[in-house]
Structure formats: C-alpha cells, structure tokens
Amino acid sequence: MNEIHNVSCVHETQFMTKRFKRRPRITAAPLGRNLCYATGRKNSIIRPTIKSLSANNRSNKSEKSDFKVVCYYTNWSQYRPKTGKFVPEDIDPFLCTHILFAFGWIKKGKLSPFENTDDSKQGKKGLYERIVDLKKKNPQLKVLLAVGGWSFGTEKFKEGSSSRYTRQTFVFSAIDYLRQRNFDGLDLDWEYPKGDDDKKNFVALLKDLREAFEAEAKETKRPRLLLSAAVPAGAETIRGGYDVPSVSSLLDFIDVMTYDFHGKWESTTGHNSPLYAPSSDSTWRKQLSMDFAANMWVRLGAPREKLIIGMGTYGRSFTLANPKRNGVNAPATGGGKAGVYTREAGFLAYYEICEMLKKGATYVWDEEMKSPYAYDGDEWVGFDDERSIMEKM
C-alpha cells in the first residue's frame, strides 16, 4: 500500500518507553536527535504520539509510577548546522521521564567529560548543567550520564572491569562525578562485552556500582543513584557477552538497542527498526527485529518490567542498484546521500525524511514489518513514524 502524508518529525532524538502486557513493549530515542515539525522550526519540539500513548497507558495508579519514556540526548547535536542544531534548551522537559546524556568519557579509569563544553567554566554553563537545569521545570525528571557508545570502543571497559582495584577506582570516581554535577544516575553503554571474562567482569562492575550506590545513599540520606545499561539486540551478542539474569537483577532498567538492524554495510535494503521481520528475509535475518530481540531478552531471564525497547528517531538509507526495484531486500550499492544537517551517508534524521516526503518521495507502509519506508529515484530509507510507534507500543 502506497501513501504520502505529513507527519510530525523527530530531530534525531531517541525514545525509550515502557509498557508490558502480553509481550515486551517500549520505545527509545536519542535527544540530540530531537522532535520538531516538518517545517524545520528548531524549537518546535512536540509531544509525539508516544507522549499521548503514555498518558493513556497510565490511566491507573499502578501503571503511572512504572511507565518510562527514556530519551538520549547526544552532545554532538550542538554542532548541527543552522536549524539542525539542538541544545538542551530545545528539549521539552515533560516529554521524557528520564534523559540520558550521551556521552561521558573515561580517562585514567575515572569518569571525565567528553567535550570541553560539557562542564561549566568561568561562569559559562556547560551542557551538563544546562540539561540538569531541565529538572527545575520538571522536578520529576531524572537525568543520567551515559558513558560509552559505539565509537568509544571496548578497551576502557575491559580494563576498568578487570580487577577489584580498577572497578573500585571507577566506581568511587563515578559517585563523586555524578553527585557534583547533579546527575541522578549512570548508564553504561559497553558495546559489547564478549567472551567469558567480559561476561563475568561486566556483572562484577555492575555489582560494585550497585552496592556502592546503595551504601552512599544510606550514608548521605539522598536518593540512590540509578543504574542502567544499553544492551544489544543481536542474539549471538547477547548470549556471548551477557549473564542476563545477573545483569537484570543489578540494573534499574535495561535499554535494548532495537535499531540499526540494517544499514549501508549490507548489499540489500532493510529497515532500521522493524517490529517484525519481513517474510522475504533469510532465516538468520528474521532475528533482526524488535519483537525477536525483546523476547530473546525475556527468554534469557530479563524481567519484562525492566526492559526499555529502543527506537531511533532516524532512518537508515541506501542507494538502490536499480530504482525500479525499490522494496525491502532490494539490491543496493551503498548508503544513501548524506542529509543536509546530519551529514552522514546512509543516515537521515526524521526531520530530513519529512523533507524528502514533502518533495514527493513515495511513502510505503509495510504491513509485515508494521513499519514504513520511502523511496525517491535511487534513494531508499526505512524509518519509524507515528503509526509504527503506535504499533510498537
């Protein structure tokens, strides 16, 4: 079924929401990728479908305290050109229950800033203080510091978790660092533990962090620092690097990265974050879906109520080998053209996709995947919109 329509846009943010009935449900988003109208107005952040859905889902008291909308704010979004620039003041403080600032750094085994603009200096507010200031408008908001990420690599986590001494060095630096900057917790984004040693050491690191957070809270009479982690969606990576029951018992919530399932590294088109895999996929590729990943974590021992299922508010794009073959699993020669604002081949923020649709790209709703894609000539992109978010909720 083909259709073209206008949708409210997400500036490269990321949601993570949570609701469970028969199967795991949630949403995720990085906020350096932010929510805006298709007009491109930088500051017109909207309360998207996920916001109204969360309100509907919290109709009783038991659900209200448990429902989470977790959003990542990426510090590199401050460098987007022109209207693509996104800073903490552009965030609606009531959109999310938790904001994760991505990313902090580790230097000499201790937490440290990643950018020179992170910490406040000489009377000028840094990004840390500016994003934590959102709690002045919404006192219920929790702001955590995320450390790691894909480009961070694995060595610092391997070294920092390898012994009691290195773990304690990191743990106690983390408590001081987070408290001094008024963060509410820590999100670990180790991509990814691999093998028996990493699996064991990751649990040990989480255990030391959790115990230290609890002891510090008891001693200071302050709310305990929260502890979460971003984890993979791939079955082999999960089994190879995670003691799921132990990890789950130590974390307050678990951010499952159910996006980037397909991209320019492949020779055929595929959706960034399908709810279900299409029937045309191979047996192995059928594992690359939100539904499969969420249920994999549950089968391996993760409590449903702790899972936060991720949705990137961006799309993965391709260049079609033949513009006449423009469906899912169509031959591709590489990533699509870089967006004006995101400036990365094979990647488009949702607001850039909105512009693509406004200029006449064909919108296709895929009933099997419960997700849309669009194409224009040899350009192809798979993404999420309000309709697919509703399906995933």
Closest residue by Cα to residue 243 from 287, 206, 292, 191: 206
> Token digits for 344?
């990365």
Cis bond before residue 261 (omega within 30° of 0): no
Among 191, 216, 352, 379, the active-site one is 191
pLDDT band at 37 (very low <50, low <70, confident <90, very high): very low
| 209 class by beta-carbon count within 10 Å (0-12 exposed, 13-18 middle, 19+ buried) | buried
| pLDDT tens string 136-193 | 999 999 999 999 998 899 999 999 999 999 999 999 999 999 999 999 999 999 999 9
| Structure confidence at residue 393 (pLDDT) | 83
Q: What is the DSSP letter of 22?
A: S
Is 70-257 assigned to CATH 3.30.365.10?
A: no
pLDDT band for position 123 (cuts 50, 70, 90):
confident
The token duo for 275 is: 């709810």
State the pTM of this model.
Answer: 0.86
pLDDT digits (tens, 9 = 90+) for 95-107: 999 999 999 999 9
Is 191 an active-site residue? yes
Provide the pLDDT confidence category of residue 65 given band limits of 50, 70 and 90: low
Token pair belonging to 223: 């709310």
Q: What are phi and psi of 233, to 5 degrees?
A: -105, -10
115 Cβ contact partners less than 8 Å away, ≥ 6 residues apart: 75, 127
Identify the pLDDT of residue 66: 72
CA angle 348, 372, 299 (to 5 degrees): 100
Collapsing DSSP to helix, strand or coil, 280 comes out as: coil
Name the least confident of 100-109, 187-196, 228-237, 277-286: 277-286
Give the position of tokens 């990751």: 202
Kindly state the helix (H) or strand (E) to which residue 15 belongs, with its residue range. Answer: strand 14-20
Buried b (16+ CB within 10 A) or exposed e, 71-102: bbbbbebbebeebbbbbbebbbbebbbbbbbb
What would the two tokens of residue 64 be?
């209200």
What tokens appear for 88 in the block? Answer: 């903490």
The residues facing 282 across adjacent strands are none
d(CA 10, CA 329): 26
Helix (H, G, I), strand (E, B) or coil at 36: strand
